Structure 1
Amino acid sequence: MYRNKTRWIIWPLFALAAVFSAWGFKQSAGDNGAINTINLFREGAAGFAAASLEMEQALYALDAGNPATVDHAKTSLRKCRLQYKRIEFFLDYFFFSSSQAYNRPAKTEIDEPYMEYQAPAGLQQIAVLLFDQDPVSHKKALMEEAAVISSSATDLPSLLYRFSTSDKAIMESLRIELVRLYANGITGYDAPELKSGIAETAQSMQTIRAVLQPWLRTPSPENIPVQKYLTQSIQYLQQHPGFDDFNRLEFLTEYALPLQEQLSNMIHTLQLDLHTRSALNYNAKNLFSKDALNLAAFPDSMNATPALKTLGRQLFFEKALSGNNQRSCATCHRPEKYFSDGLRTSLAIDEKNHVRRNAPGLYYTAFQYAQFWDGRASNLSKQIADVISNPQEMNGVHAVVLSRLQDSARYRQAFNEAFPAMGDSAITMHQLSSAIAAYLGALAPMNSAMDDYFAGNKQAMTAAQIHGFNLFMGKAQCATCHFAPLFNGLTPPFYRFTEFENLGVPANDDLEHLQADNDAGRFDFFPIDFYKRAFKTPTVRNTAMTAPYMHNGAFASLEKVMEFYNAGGGNGLGLKDAYQTLSPAKLGLTTTEIQDIIAFMQALTDRPNSY
């Protein structure tokens, strides 16, 4: 649970640490891989504790009159992060709350529904302060952060007191770690200032190899490919250490994703499958497969039979759901416009006024834990029911809408086919909204040019699109908010949360004469200051087809969107928003690089379908 304080000290058991370490942990007989992993964690924890102490001393030595002390502090931070990567997979899987003291995002995070917040802290916060224009002015805060990390790192062995695990759990932790590296590590998600993501990924890969040694020592048909791709992945990372020019597409397609596939095959062959922690589909080939995420893990999960989806499609286009019998869901979410409407904000039901926000496309919308721009609906069914009754949108009275459907022999039959257990019962709003939700859940074709490329067609993307992918996933930092593989705010590696961000979006797209936007965003639903002007991060799949952009439709083109991001968002352009979560630092992208990123986003356009 997040707490309202500026730092978070965990496991303050200094006097007992040595005793707990000596006592060790409980372990089932035969789980040799788990025993090896525990020993590696002990070694890694010791290395991290030593590195954190060195970092603390370097920060203590910061001197405004000696710029070399700042460089030394940055170097010590890099070393400390590399040591942390030796134990991150273990901490994040087995002791997630404890891991957050060391490497959580450098922004205030909200614990819902308790409406408490956790202030920025840890290695990422140290990086933000250390890369400020005047880092020495933050020396006191830096020292406080370093002291917390150093003291708690010394105490890490105490986590093993009465701890037990299994080889199956170890294997699942490695599966999740690979996803973390592909979606976060190589993108620089938690070290954007340091640009150390490639070196850190290499360190994590070496840890994975050490963890797997009990299974890799004796060559076998199932482990030889794992050894091969693991070695090649590490070599590629080590031979190409540059962050901005790292070829992520080549790394993923040639080495990393085959490694993920082969590790899964080995786990299955050894009968060490375990699925407890995430929305990942372990039966999928890799992270970029069409079935990489399990739709059943998300709200509104159901057995979406063909009859249910067919009914949902009929209802999506049904004007009887509106108060005036003139509107359907498709009025503002038009299939030919990739389920958007091309307007800044949609027309209200009176055809004169406009609703408050832009109508986003609906592809992949089921893969979220919150709906609407402000996330006020916890699932699609609730969103659908809300839209139907909203006075500005469809203005339908639920009882009247249901009565109309009940009076239709065609709909009575369709509902009976979709819900066989209903018998002669009356149609309900839950059935209606569930059917439309099932239809929307099917809007996930993943048949874009990029998907074809990952499926093996190396001609599917142009040179500009390939370069754009590498920029999107690296230098441009797009993938640190639009996470692979859906490129929305669904946060890896567990894919259990939906992010909300404040980008400082203005009310207009004249970046030289910005006007502040007065939409409070999620704050209206969760009245915590840190949610002011925060909105859900949408997918950029099909974004080339769904202009205009942002919650208010302020940006008419992707060029304007990229110009805005390149300048550091609203604050980078001169707006003063105390709650902007996007870094105000300029990205330094050239005109050609921006065009290549846009070309890649065009490669995320799904082929037209009969939806």
Structure 2
Amino acid sequence: MIFSFLPRITKPLRSLLLIISTTLFLSVLLTSFTSEPQNQEVIIIKQTFEQDIAALQQQAKNFTKKINLLKENKSSLAESRQAFYKVKIAYKQVEYLLEYLDPELAKSLNGAPLPKVLIEEANYLTVPFAKPSFRTFPPQGLQVLEELLFAEDVSPENTKEAIVLAYALESKLGLFQNSLPNQSLTTKQLLESLREELVRVMTLGITGFDAPAAGHELTNCAVALQPILTAVKLFNKDASGAGANYSQLAAQKLEAAIRYLNKHPDFDTFDRLYFIREILDPAYGALTNLQEQVLPESVSTLKPVNNKAISLFSPNFLEAGYYAKQDRQDQKPELIQLGKTLFFDPLLSDNNKRSCASCHAPNKAFADGLTRSLAFDFKGTVKRNSPTLLNAVFSTAYFWDSRAQYLQDQVPDVVVKNDELHGNYEEVVRKLQRSPAYKKMFKNAFPEESGKSLNTNTINRAVAAYVQNLVALNSPFDQYMRRETTQFDEAAKRGFNLFMGKAACGTCHFAPIFNGTVPPRFLESESEILGVPAMADLNNPTLDNDIGKAGVIPAEVFEYSFKTPTIRNAAVTAPYMHNGVFTTLPEVVEFYDRGGGAGLGMAVPHQTLPSNALNLSETEKQDLVAFMHSLTDTTSTQIIAAPKNLPRLMLHRKLNKRPVGGVY
């Protein structure tokens, strides 16, 4: 991604202080290791990795020297750029294992060029009207260096900042290098790192995510896959039976992937759909099966990525349970059914006329089709557009301003909010307790709670469990990518390639969910600053005055920042954006094509969307829309079916007439 409007640090002293601070907290203690004995393949790979880290460290030193010579006018910009290329290539050779072993270090070496906001006190999550204590750090690493050195006009200030960042890079690599000899490496960790790199290449590498200015995106991917191929071939030497077949298949596909990348280096014309479906995703499946043969696991730690998934687009590729706050294991049908009933029951509202389904209707893909939902008792509208709940679980940030970390924490905000359900939990509990059917349902869903199974927490848990179950990953696109069909719209094929390439959509809406949850580990969800206008008139735009995430964490770099939602089911969940300003997908595509708010000429100082125009043709715009249509999946009867009736309350004839889903 090219971030043309990111804040820059022009004072080397400030950057040096950042380096010192970062170095003190650098995670040199790598991921915890087991006592599993190392086999010969792992020993060889670790030795090679140590040599490659040493080579990367040397390239970083050479780069620092070149930048210093550039500052003194003793070297050319071209020489500094060439030195940077060598560092980037050397990094790609170790990326698979370095980023697996120390992901926090990797963020500072090659993370997105975005300022980092460190929350020092998070009482704002629990204390009303409290504001968080935070510090903002400027971005650092290879991507920032790339933007500095490959800018149209490389100023002396750019060079000064590049020097500070180059020293930081060198220092951190030195610390990591020194720690390596004392670290062990297990077969499980190695195999997981290989698979993780394939996900990284499919979701980030071929989109140009970490090549914001210098290009060479596809060459970098070929370099990153080479050590994966080497490792797989080592495993193949000693493998037998099914393990040998899987390792051989993985090696064949990896060789094909590297050949294809080298043969088709043009970023705009690269066929990503073919590359993923026919080459790299099958390699991923083969590595999954190889790991199952080499290390059959009886018990595995719950993580976002399912170790047994054989495709990036498997329905179970991501573990929905990982993103839950409490109910993370396989959920009981009784819990989901209770949550579903509560979701459609207007008893959660103060006037007993409104339910969660009022703004998230199953027949509208769990949105409501309105610019902004009606407010409580028809008193205007709520502040923001109601997004779909389908696949909402795959996130670590909820609401447009990311103020909740879990679905379970999202529920009470909606129940008690004055313009939504305007409810009161004490009263809600009293109403539910009047129903013998509800009391039985709570007891069955929460048997561990003994006689106190109906309470505020269990209400929230049940509703969250139901929403967590709203997973819809069986669109025409998914079926094609899983090779369940050979039929797929040609325009949608072209649209996917644009989405993941030239149009740069996939650098914020990450596959496979196509939301802001960042691969390859899917541990955090991003927000973006787009410069969304208040009205749909792009020729006379005015910036929408909703400051978004900055209203929760008042950091300047979060002004007008909003959660990146999934574009799955976008074809049936209009209108779009946090304010519902655009009513059609072509309007959305046009907004992005022009470079967002900054590209339209509005002042959006920290816009994270590239402000330069994409210059898409009309056919390309139509193809993008066709791809988004191919992500529609709202047909599951289990998902869309509302309860046939609601539990009756004792001696309350009026409330027993309440309709499923509420009145409005």
Closer/same/farther in 2, CA of residues 460 and 439 from structure 1, 3 Å limit: farther
CA distance in 1 between counterparts of 2:86 and 2:301 reads 32
Shift of 1:210: 2.2
More displaced, 103-112 or 220-229? Answer: 220-229
1:224 corresponds, among 223, 248, 269, to: 248
Whether 1:320 aligns to 2:341 is no
Shift of 1:562: 1.4
Which amino acid letter does the alignment assign opposite residue 118 of structure 1? Answer: F
1:409 corresponds, among 407, 418, 436, to: 436
Which residue number corresponds to residue 256 of structure 1? 280
Contact 1:40 1:211 in 2 (8 A): no
TM-score (norm 1): 0.91
Which amino acid letter does the alignment assign opposite residue 101 of structure 1? Answer: S
Closer/same/farther in 2, CA of residues 5 and 27 from structure 1, 3 Å limit: farther
Which residue number corresponds to residue 287 of structure 1? 312
Closer/same/farther in 2, CA of residues 27 and 391 from structure 1, 3 Å limit: closer
What do residues 208-256 of structure 1 show as CA deviations (whole Å, max 9, x unaligned)?
1223343123463422222222222222222222211111111111111
Closer/same/farther in 2, CA of residues 134 and 276 from structure 1, 3 Å limit: farther
The secondary structure found in structure 1 opposite 2:117 is strand
More displaced, 263-272 or 135-144? Answer: 135-144
2:269 corresponds, among 235, 245, 268, to: 245
CA distance in 2 between counterparts of 1:145 and 1:397 reads 52
Which residue number corresponds to residue 102 of structure 1? 109
Which amino acid letter does the alignment assign opposite residue 556 of structure 1? Answer: T
Which residue number corresponds to residue 378 of structure 2? 351
CA distance in 2 between counterparts of 1:58 and 1:27 reads 43
2:93 corresponds, among 86, 98, 102, to: 86
The secondary structure found in structure 2 opposite 1:501 is strand
Which residue number corresponds to residue 116 of structure 1? 135
Which residue number corresponds to residue 134 of structure 1? 153
Shift of 1:50: 3.7
Closer/same/farther in 2, CA of residues 588 and 485 from structure 1, 3 Å limit: same
Whether 1:177 aligns to 2:177 is no
Contact 1:171 1:272 in 2 (8 A): no
Shift of 1:477: 1.1
Show structure 2 runs of 5+ residues with no match. Answer: 1-13, 122-133, 641-664
Which residue number corresponds to residue 9 of structure 2? none
CA distance in 2 between counterparts of 1:65 and 1:43 reads 33
Whether 1:443 aligns to 2:463 is no
Higher relative contact order (CA 8 A, sep 6+): 2
CA distance in 1 between counterparts of 2:447 and 2:22 reads 54
Which amino acid letter does the alignment assign opposite residue 136 of structure 1? Answer: S
CA distance in 1 between counterparts of 2:302 and 2:184 reads 17
CA distance in 2 between counterparts of 1:432 and 1:275 reads 30
The secondary structure found in structure 2 opposite 1:180 is helix
CA distance in 1 between counterparts of 2:459 and 2:20 reads 49
Whether 1:608 aligns to 2:628 is no
CA distance in 1 between counterparts of 2:319 and 2:108 reads 30
More displaced, 371-380 or 583-592? Answer: 583-592
CA distance in 1 between counterparts of 2:498 and 2:185 reads 40
Which residue number corresponds to residue 406 of structure 2? 379
Whether 1:236 aligns to 2:260 is yes
1:425 corresponds, among 430, 449, 452, to: 452
CA distance in 2 between counterparts of 1:64 and 1:602 reads 55
Contact 1:535 1:551 in 2 (8 A): yes
Closer/same/farther in 2, CA of residues 199 and 367 from structure 1, 3 Å limit: same
Which residue number corresponds to residue 3 of structure 2? none
Whether 1:296 aligns to 2:314 is no
Which amino acid letter does the alignment assign opposite residue 146 of structure 2? Answer: A
CA distance in 2 between counterparts of 1:75 and 1:595 reads 39
Shift of 1:72: 4.8
What do residues 99-122 of structure 1 show as CA deviations (whole Å, max 9, x unaligned)?
233211111122345533331111
CA distance in 2 between counterparts of 1:605 and 1:527 reads 36
More displaced, 504-513 or 451-460? Answer: 451-460
Shift of 1:418: 2.2
More displaced, 368-377 or 134-143? Answer: 134-143
Contact 1:26 1:162 in 2 (8 A): no
CA distance in 2 between counterparts of 1:280 and 1:127 reads 31
Contact 2:37 2:186 in 1 (8 A): no
Which amino acid letter does the alignment assign opposite residue 109 of structure 1? Answer: K
Which residue number corresponds to residue 555 of structure 1? 582
Q: What is the 5 A alignment of 1:153-232?
A: 153=173, 156-218=176-238, 220-221=240-241, 222=243, 223-232=247-256
Contact 1:11 1:155 in 2 (8 A): no
CA distance in 2 between counterparts of 1:483 and 1:564 reads 19
Whether 1:51 aligns to 2:51 is no
Which residue number corresponds to residue 537 of structure 1? 564
Which residue number corresponds to residue 644 of structure 2? none
CA distance in 2 between counterparts of 1:564 and 1:330 reads 30
Shift of 1:291: 0.2
Contact 2:533 2:542 in 1 (8 A): yes
Which residue number corresponds to residue 21 of structure 1? none
More displaced, 105-114 or 556-565? Answer: 105-114
Which amino acid letter does the alignment assign opposite residue 259 of structure 1? Answer: A
The secondary structure found in structure 1 opposite 2:204 is helix
CA RMSD of aligned residues (A): 2.7
CA distance in 2 between counterparts of 1:597 and 1:236 reads 24
Contact 1:8 1:121 in 2 (8 A): no
Shift of 1:152: 4.2
CA distance in 1 between counterparts of 2:262 and 2:20 reads 34
More displaced, 196-205 or 149-158? Answer: 149-158
Q: What is the 5 A alignment of 1:578-597?
A: 578-597=605-624
CA distance in 2 between counterparts of 1:190 and 1:271 reads 32
CA distance in 1 between counterparts of 2:296 and 2:138 reads 38
CA distance in 1 between counterparts of 2:230 and 2:200 reads 18
CA distance in 2 between counterparts of 1:74 and 1:501 reads 29
Contact 1:186 1:201 in 2 (8 A): yes
The secondary structure found in structure 2 opposite 1:350 is helix
CA distance in 2 between counterparts of 1:577 and 1:521 reads 13
CA distance in 2 between counterparts of 1:400 and 1:29 reads 59
Which residue number corresponds to residue 19 of structure 2? 8
More displaced, 160-169 or 50-59? Answer: 50-59
The secondary structure found in structure 2 opposite 1:91 is helix
Closer/same/farther in 2, CA of residues 43 and 451 from structure 1, 3 Å limit: same
Query: Percent same amino acid at aligned positions?
Result: 36
Q: What is the 5 A alignment of 1:66-85?
A: 69-85=76-92
What do residues 519-547 of structure 1 show as CA deviations (whole Å, max 9, x unaligned)?
12112212222222211110010011111
Which residue number corresponds to residue 5 of structure 2? none
CA distance in 1 between counterparts of 2:239 and 2:319 reads 33
Contact 1:11 1:158 in 2 (8 A): no
CA distance in 2 between counterparts of 1:383 and 1:12 reads 36
The secondary structure found in structure 1 opposite 2:625 is helix
Contact 2:339 2:465 in 1 (8 A): yes
CA distance in 2 between counterparts of 1:244 and 1:561 reads 21
CA distance in 2 between counterparts of 1:9 and 1:178 reads 34
Which amino acid letter does the alignment assign opposite residue 49 of structure 2? Answer: F
Shift of 1:156: 4.5
Shift of 1:158: 0.7
Contact 2:442 2:453 in 1 (8 A): no
Which amino acid letter does the alignment assign opposite residue 98 of structure 2? Answer: L
The secondary structure found in structure 2 opposite 1:400 is helix
The secondary structure found in structure 1 opposite 2:374 is coil
Whether 1:487 aligns to 2:514 is yes
Contact 1:9 1:101 in 2 (8 A): no
Closer/same/farther in 2, CA of residues 122 and 514 from structure 1, 3 Å limit: same
Shift of 1:331: 0.9
The total of aligned residue pairs comes to 597
More displaced, 194-203 or 241-250? Answer: 194-203
Show structure 1 runs of 5+ residues with no match. Answer: 18-24
Shift of 1:550: 0.9
Whether 1:266 aligns to 2:290 is yes
Which residue number corresponds to residue 306 of structure 1? 333
